[in-house]
């Protein structure tokens, strides 16, 4: 390694970590080492394989309004990146509602009387909006009316978050749904075909997907990173970040068995959850900062991944399950993303999503019981008979969703305020910033972090990386 080069350590080999790594290596002035806690690449966007059937952790579609991100995606995977027209529905009250909403389908599903009630409730809130709408419930009610909020937003949102909608911050709705409202939904339902270019992101219906799952994209990105000279150490969870009060100086990383190594660097990029990061600092911050970090909460996700003895089950990519009679919140149909996701095309790979806090007893449910629950709930919904479920496996992801409860903003402010004293610590990604980001936004946060660093780099004489140093990653990612 050139002595003139700066050393960067990146915590996490998910989308943000890999993006930052590749962007740093492109400068040819920085050496990159990625430390990844898990045995696989991709973070939340990984793809797990079971007996030749492939499941994302909830199917991950590639969609972005950023030209920069799209260019990056095509650069990594233009040969295996397939456009799909999204097909999503909501299952509620024994009826499939199309998403985006289709007025005729809504009227059939809700009855004319219920539709009048929804319109009345919408007019009412337009005339008398809720002032100072700080909760998810108030924010959505202001844009859709209380009745539509109750039908199309409340149940699913409460399944995902495990708290009532009046306890969820409006930030989440504002970030996910942006300026979208009922009037826009109706406008695009009737006239959308003539206004394709201006369609809000929440209604965009074309996305890209690699034939072997979202994770195959990130495995490809990891290979790009190692070919540029970066290294990835799997099974290297960062347990300690050493600092001198003004800079991070080194991290200790190791596996669960306790064997670890120390990595010194000039710059540190982190995508690990903020709560764990604060608690890994050595020396620890004052109690107020630790308490704030401990108040940042996460929602866990259990995916029950099933093999169904049928080639066709539902036409959807995703089916949102608002029904209260079942615990699952969403079904992902991997066959509709790519038939290469199944070992046998007479079978369907369904991924059922269940949400839970890790402290809840439900989190401890055994794999066998979860597989039985998934099969039984599919039968309750009338999607397949339980006897048609022939096999399956379960994944549990403890920190799938950074929670936006009503006080998260204050706690996050304290944590971020404290971390500002370390100018060589760059926070990015989803849990790394406690932001409910999709892959593209996580990537943009990584690109932003790298650009900020580039601004402060002393001007090095640009030196091409000698060929012999390329591809000497400490550990290549799995194929
Ligand atoms: C169910 C679900 C569905 C989703 N669907 C989509 C979708 O359709 N489209 C989309 O664009 N986005 C989707 N997302 C969001 C997407 O997964 C994230 O935006 C993206 O993965 C964030 O990338 P990241 O690198 O910031 O974080 P992560 O993907 O969380 O990666 C962080 C990495 O850091 C590692 N790590 C954590 N702690 C440590 C430590 N102490 N030491 C070392 N390593 C550590 C983790 O193991 C992980 O590999 C979905 C998310 C979920 C949960």
pLDDT digits (tens, 9 = 90+) for 41-76: 999 999 999 999 999 999 999 999 999 999 999 999
CB 412 within 8 A of CB 296: yes
Confidence at residue 216, expressed as pLDDT on a 0 to 100 scale:
98
The larger pLDDT score, comparing residue 429 to residue 104, is at: 429
Q: Ligand 1 centre from 223 Cα, in Å?
A: 18
The larger pLDDT score, comparing residue 255 to residue 332, is at: 332
Tell me the domains of the chain and their CATH numbers: 6-43+213-294+406-469 (3.50.50.60), 101-204 (no CATH)
Q: Ligand 1 centre from 201 Cα, in Å?
A: 20
Confidence at residue 140, expressed as pLDDT on a 0 to 100 scale:
87
Q: Ligand 1 centre from 301 Cα, in Å?
A: 12
pLDDT at 475 over 50: no
Q: What's the CA angle centered on 428, arms 459 and 244, to 5 degrees?
A: 70
What span, in angstroms and rounded, lies between the C-alpha atoms of 474 and 479? 15
Which is the closest atom of ligand 1 to the Cα of 61? 8
Residue 100 pLDDT grade (very low, low, confident, very high; cuts 50, 70, 90): confident
Q: Ligand 1 centre from 76 Cα, in Å?
A: 19
Q: Could you tell me what percentage of the chain is helix, strand and coil, using 3-state DSSP and rounding each to the nearest 5?
A: 40, 25, 35
Pocket of ligand 1 (CB under 6 A): 11-17, 35-38, 43-45, 57-58, 60-61, 237-238, 271-272, 276, 301, 400, 429-432, 437-440, 442
Percent residues over pLDDT 70 in the chain: 89
Ligand 1 pocket test: which of 14, 209, 268 has the largest number of ligand atoms within 8 Å of its C-beta? 14
CA nearest ligand 1 atom 15, residue: 438
Confidence at residue 182, expressed as pLDDT on a 0 to 100 scale:
55
The larger pLDDT score, comparing residue 478 to residue 117, is at: 117
CB 226 within 8 A of CB 57: no
CA separation (Å) from 309 to 61, 319, 347, 371, 417?
25, 19, 5, 15, 53
Which is the closest atom of ligand 1 to the Cα of 63? 11
* Span 172-194, pLDDT tens digits: 777 776 555 555 565 555 555 54
Which is the closest atom of ligand 1 to the Cα of 57? 1
- The verdict on whether omega for the bond into residue 283 sits within 30 degrees of 0, i.e. cis, is yes
pLDDT at 241 over 50: yes
pLDDT at 107 over 70: yes
The larger pLDDT score, comparing residue 287 to residue 168, is at: 287
Confidence at residue 476, expressed as pLDDT on a 0 to 100 scale:
28
Confidence at residue 319, expressed as pLDDT on a 0 to 100 scale:
96
* Span 257-273, pLDDT tens digits: 767 899 999 999 999 99
Cβ neighbours for 109, distance < 8 A, ≥ 6 positions apart: 92, 93, 95, 96, 97
Tell me the average pLDDT of the chain: 89
What are phi and psi for residue 402, nearest 5 degrees? -70, 125
Confidence at residue 267, expressed as pLDDT on a 0 to 100 scale:
98
Q: Ligand 1 centre from 11 Cα, in Å?
A: 12
Ligand 1 pocket test: which of 11, 45, 70, 351 has the largest number of ligand atoms within 8 Å of its C-beta? 45
pLDDT at 461 over 50: no
Confidence at residue 456, expressed as pLDDT on a 0 to 100 scale:
77
Which is the closest atom of ligand 1 to the Cα of 58? 1
Which is the closest atom of ligand 1 to the Cα of 17? 25
Residue 203 pLDDT grade (very low, low, confident, very high; cuts 50, 70, 90): low
What span, in angstroms and rounded, lies between the C-alpha atoms of 240 and 279? 8
Residue 471 pLDDT grade (very low, low, confident, very high; cuts 50, 70, 90): very low
What span, in angstroms and rounded, lies between the C-alpha atoms of 159 and 169? 16
Average pLDDT over residues 199-226: 88
The larger pLDDT score, comparing residue 185 to residue 331, is at: 331
């Amino acid at each position: 390694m050139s002595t003139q080069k700066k050393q960067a350590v990146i915590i996490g080999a998910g989308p943000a970590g890999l993006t930052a790594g590749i962007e740093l290596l492109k400068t040819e002035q920085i050496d990159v080492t990625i430390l990844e806690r898990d045995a696989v690449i991709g973070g939340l966007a990984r793809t797990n394989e079971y007996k030749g059937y492939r499941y994302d952790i909830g199917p991950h579609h590639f969609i972005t309004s950023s030209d920069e991100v799209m260019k990056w995606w095509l650069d990594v995977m233009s040969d295996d990146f397939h456009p799909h027209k999204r097909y999503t529905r909501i299952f509620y009250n024994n009826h499939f509602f199309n998403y985006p909403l289709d007025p005729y389908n809504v009227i059939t599903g809700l009855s004319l009387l219920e539709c009048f009630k929804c319109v009345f409730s919408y007019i009412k809130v337009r005339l008398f909006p809720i002032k100072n709408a700080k909760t998810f419930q108030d924010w959505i009610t202001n844009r859709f009316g209380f009745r539509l909020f109750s039908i199309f937003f409340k149940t699913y949102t409460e399944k995902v978050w495990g708290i009532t909608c009046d306890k969820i911050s409006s930030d989440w709705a504002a970030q996910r749904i942006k300026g979208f409202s009922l009037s826009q939904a109706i406008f695009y339902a009737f006239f959308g075909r003539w206004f394709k270019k201006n369609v809000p992101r929440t209604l965009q219906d074309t996305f890209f997907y690699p034939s072997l799952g979202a994770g195959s994209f990130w495995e490809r990105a990891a290979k790009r990173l190692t070919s540029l000279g970066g290294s990835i150490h799997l099974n290297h969870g960062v347990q300690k970040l050493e600092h001198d009060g003004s800079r991070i100086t080194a991290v200790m990383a190791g596996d669960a068995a306790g064997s670890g190594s120390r990595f010194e660097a000039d710059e540190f990029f982190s995508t690990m959850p903020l709560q764990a990061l604060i608690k890994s600092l050595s020396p620890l911050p004052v109690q107020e900062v630790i308490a704030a970090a401990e108040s940042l909460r996460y929602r866990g996700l259990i995916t029950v991944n099933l093999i169904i003895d049928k080639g066709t089950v539902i036409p959807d990519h995703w089916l949102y399950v608002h029904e209260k009679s079942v615990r699952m919140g969403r079904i992902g149909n991997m066959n509709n993303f790519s038939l290469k996701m199944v070992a046998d095309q007479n079978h369907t790979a369904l991924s059922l999503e269940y949400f839970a806090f890790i402290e809840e007893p439900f989190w401890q449910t055994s794999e066998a019981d979860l597989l039985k629950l998934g099969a039984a709930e599919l039968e309750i919904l009338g999607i397949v008979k339980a006897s048609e479920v022939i096999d399956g496996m379960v994944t549990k992801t403890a920190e799938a969703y950074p929670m936006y409860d009503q006080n998260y903003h204050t706690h996050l402010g304290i944590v971020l305020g404290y971390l500002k004293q370390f100018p060589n610590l760059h926070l990015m990604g989803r849990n790394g910033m406690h932001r409910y980001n999709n892959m593209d936004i996580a990537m943009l946060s990584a690109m932003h972090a790298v650009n900020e660093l580039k601004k402060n780099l002393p001007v090095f004489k640009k030196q091409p990386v000698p060929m012999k140093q390329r591809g000497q990653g400490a550990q290549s990612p799995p194929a």
